[in-house]
Structure 1
Amino acid sequence: MSQSLNILDVSLRDGSHSVRHSFTVEQVRAAAKGLNAAGVRYFEVTHGDGLGGSSLQYGLSKVDELKLIEAAVEEATFSEVSVLLIPGIGTKQDLQAAASIGAKMVRVATHVTEADVAAQHIGLGRELGLKTVGFLMMAHMTPVEKIVEQAKLFESYGAEVVYVTDSAGALLPHEVTARVAALKDTLQCDIGFHAHNNLSMALANTIAAIEAGANYIDGSLRALGAGAGNTQTEVMVAVLEKLGYQTGIDLYKLMDVANEVIAPLMQQPQEISGSSLVLGYAGVYSSFLLHAQKAAQQFGVDERDILMELGQRKTVGGQEDLIYEVAQQLVKA
């Protein structure tokens, strides 16, 4: 197949959730150096919740993210460093600071029905000369028609890529196909896809997205990411090469950075546990997992019950405080 793909690795951003935002400059530098040597075009570096995410609500970073971004940029002689920005968490000033130290891409992320809050951030990204992306999170929560409507808003603001983002790892391949194909048929810009593996569907969903027309694809080394992790970058590259897609990535070098740099810093294996499975089953934001585990321990309740209730309430990113409220209510019940 002749379709060329843009692989974006999120180990140093989505993986921040999994390691409780404890990345050091040395770890980021080593991973960035390896990703660059392997020929990965883009990789993302910020707190798990994006620029400005270091807080009591979302989790405090061990190291200021600007220092991590700066270290990554210094190693990225071929690769380009992306940053995530969620309006209401990150600010325009945060984005200007990231751009000033060499970030080349910004992905402005909103809930799937709230693209309108991102207009000024998308506009600023374009003004700063960044590759500017709209990131529609929790894409399982709304019908295809609504996703198309919101994606068109992102494009109208200047987004050069619009992502279908399966933040809960809740989608199945036919649902990914429907969403990506609808955007491909409607938009003039490029289409991206970001998966989580809570139902063990990440790679299958990624292939479905590519076949439906997505050409920006996310993964993380050793699947390091929130919940059960993301599509595993090195496995994805191997499968795509077997399918005949052009990735331009050196698989051996990618495996080396996964095994020699990322694996040693992982605090637990990325596997589908009972709780991460419930994330996908109930449709809950993947980064809620560690918060739910902490609340369950604090209040002596089953973390799966917390996650199921959060799914019933259709909670979205930014509602982390509800995790503890739900745990307290389960105790009373």
Structure 2
Amino acid sequence: MKPTLLDCTLRDGGNQNDWQFTATDVRTIVATLDAARVDVIEVGYRGGSGSKASATAGPSAHCTPEYLAALPDVSHAELAVMVVPTVCPVRAMDDLPDSPVSMVRVAAYPWNIDGVPEYVRAVRALGLKVGVNLMAVSYTTEEQLAEIAGIVAAEAPDVFYIADSFGALTPDDVRGRVELLAERLPTPLGIHAHNNLGLAAANALAGLDAGVTWLDASLCAMARGAGNLATEQAAAFLTAWPKYATHADLPLVCEAAEYVAEQVLPRPMTVRRAEIAAGINDHHFYFQDRIDKISARHGLDPWQVGRRVGAARPRKVLDETVEDVCRELAGATTGRTEETERTDGGDA
């Protein structure tokens, strides 16, 4: 089996450097990955990121016509952009057929997946390939995922991805979800794995075994928090493992990764307490700083607060969400203390 390898450094990696890739960075990354015969290179967002608003974001956060026109010519790879329907109107894609882009990926959460078929139809009408990325897949039950598959099947894309947005899934979780979708969707499946629990590669392989044929990755794992499956590692295990096949030129992929490590990354990708806490508690990494600060103010254990935040499956990263959880926990603690004092007093 030869999986399709998609590099999303210029899109997802922008969460690490505010999409401040220089023109040289963009040319070097695209040209080197194309020479390495990586299948698809995602060059950024059209219209902005849905989860990180930034007034200072660089060019790959918006993929203007001027940015796309300046991309180097490619001879092997297809070029893609991602759109988030909540920030990118359908009409904002109309110029893409005149650009080097041949694929649009539509990213949506389980709670706004209903709007995706409109975008799939619009992209198809432009004569472009279309993918759908289901973000926060860890927040779906089997029943919900089956319903989502039904919605997507009505306007089937060229590939449907599950995105482990919070890095919370295990290989067993991935297998179950992929097998469910494979039974219900007449379309290739993909996985976008985050590395909060150190399982990005293991989850990608579990997905491949269960029927996935597309893999997302980024050079040096560059993305928010703990990062993604690293492109160079994906190319390495696809090269080393006889059951898989790849056209990717591993030394050239590593060359691109070295460039990113030395010239682009503002700091090395790490998996430390904050990244692990977000993964084990199943919430967006951008919650973690809020959880740490607000928990300290309330005198509460941030791990306990994080578990409650993840269990609430919040739709947006807001201070109020953490404040509500802290007030609930503080109230419960006060109630238990008062009850203990009454009981102790009655026994005295």
TM-score (norm 1): 0.87
What amino acid is aligned across from residue 256 of structure 1 in structure 2?
E
- Highest CA radius of gyration, 1 or 2? 2
Q: Give the structure 2 partner of residue 183 of structure 1.
A: 181
User: Quick one: distance in 2 between partners of 1:191 and 1:15?
Assistant: 22
Q: Give the structure 1 partner of residue 54 of structure 2.
A: 59
Matched, 1:293 2:289: yes
Residue range with higher mean Cα deviation, 62-71 or 249-258: 62-71
Please tell me whether the aligned partners of residues 237 and 251 of structure 1 are also in contact (alpha carbons under 8 angstroms).
yes
What are the Cα deviations for residues 211-249 of structure 1, in whole angstroms up to 9, with x where unaligned?
A: 101101111111001210001111111112222211110
Q: How much has 1:197 moved relative to structure 2? A: 0.3
1:157 aligns to what SS in structure 2? coil
Q: How much has 1:299 moved relative to structure 2? A: 10
What are the Cα deviations for residues 239-284 of structure 1, in whole angstroms up to 9, with x where unaligned?
A: 1222221111000000001002454211121111111111111111
User: Quick one: distance in 2 between partners of 1:90 and 1:219?
Assistant: 23
Identity fraction in percent: 28
Matched, 1:278 2:277: yes
Q: How does 1:315-330 map to 2 (within 5 A)?
A: 315-316=314-315, 319-320=316-317, 322=318, 324-326=319-321
User: Quick one: distance in 1 between partners of 2:291 and 2:146?
Assistant: 36
Q: How does 1:118-197 map to 2 (within 5 A)?
A: 118-197=116-195
Q: How much has 1:309 moved relative to structure 2? A: 5.0
Q: Give the structure 1 partner of residue 264 of structure 2.
A: 265
Please tell me whether the aligned partners of residues 40 and 249 of structure 1 are also in contact (alpha carbons under 8 angstroms).
yes
2:5 aligns to what SS in structure 1? strand
User: Quick one: distance in 1 between partners of 2:323 and 2:29?
Assistant: 40
Q: How much has 1:51 moved relative to structure 2? A: 2.3
Q: How much has 1:160 moved relative to structure 2? A: 1.6
What are the Cα deviations for residues 305-329 of structure 1, in whole angstroms up to 9, with x where unaligned?
A: 775553243123xx23x1x335666
User: Quick one: distance in 2 between partners of 1:152 and 1:212?
Assistant: 20
Please tell me whether the aligned partners of residues 155 and 162 of structure 1 are also in contact (alpha carbons under 8 angstroms).
no
Matched, 1:239 2:237: yes
Q: Give the structure 2 partner of residue 21 of structure 1.
A: 19
User: Quick one: distance in 2 between partners of 1:326 and 1:114?
Assistant: 20
User: Quick one: distance in 1 between partners of 2:281 and 2:125?
Assistant: 39
Q: Give the structure 1 partner of residue 252 of structure 2.
A: 253
User: Quick one: distance in 1 between partners of 2:50 and 2:111?
Assistant: 25
Please tell me whether the aligned partners of residues 113 and 146 of structure 1 are also in contact (alpha carbons under 8 angstroms).
no
What are the Cα deviations for residues 25-52 of structure 1, in whole angstroms up to 9, with x where unaligned?
A: 2211111111111101101122xxx322
What amino acid is aligned across from residue 167 of structure 1 in structure 2?
S
What amino acid is aligned across from residue 278 of structure 2 in structure 1?
L
User: Quick one: distance in 2 between partners of 1:182 and 1:293?
Assistant: 35
Number of corresponding residues: 320
1:132 aligns to what SS in structure 2? strand
What amino acid is aligned across from residue 62 of structure 1 in structure 2?
G
1:65 aligns to what SS in structure 2? coil
What amino acid is aligned across from residue 53 of structure 1 in structure 2?
G
What are the Cα deviations for residues 75-111 of structure 1, in whole angstroms up to 9, with x where unaligned?
A: 3232111111111111112222344322111111111
Please tell me whether the aligned partners of residues 173 and 205 of structure 1 are also in contact (alpha carbons under 8 angstroms).
yes
One of 68, 83, 93 as aligned partner of 1:95: 93
Unaligned runs of 5+ in 1: none
Residue range with higher mean Cα deviation, 208-217 or 239-248: 239-248
What amino acid is aligned across from residue 272 of structure 1 in structure 2?
V
Q: How much has 1:285 moved relative to structure 2? A: 2.5
Cα 1:76–1:299 shift into 2, 3 Å: farther
Please tell me whether the aligned partners of residues 180 and 209 of structure 1 are also in contact (alpha carbons under 8 angstroms).
yes
Q: How does 1:24-43 map to 2 (within 5 A)?
A: 24-43=22-41
Residue range with higher mean Cα deviation, 124-133 or 92-101: 92-101
Q: How much has 1:116 moved relative to structure 2? A: 1.1
Q: How much has 1:187 moved relative to structure 2? A: 1.8
What amino acid is aligned across from residue 69 of structure 1 in structure 2?
L
1:228 aligns to what SS in structure 2? coil
Residue range with higher mean Cα deviation, 258-267 or 194-203: 258-267
Cα 1:328–1:149 shift into 2, 3 Å: closer
Please tell me whether the aligned partners of residues 274 and 304 of structure 1 are also in contact (alpha carbons under 8 angstroms).
no
2:106 aligns to what SS in structure 1? strand
Q: Give the structure 1 partner of residue 69 of structure 2.
A: 70
TM-score (norm 2): 0.83
Matched, 1:210 2:208: yes
User: Quick one: distance in 2 between partners of 1:296 and 1:58?
Assistant: 21
What amino acid is aligned across from residue 29 of structure 2 in structure 1?
A
Q: Give the structure 1 partner of residue 340 of structure 2.
A: none
Q: How much has 1:24 moved relative to structure 2? A: 2.4
User: Quick one: distance in 1 between partners of 2:261 and 2:69?
Assistant: 19
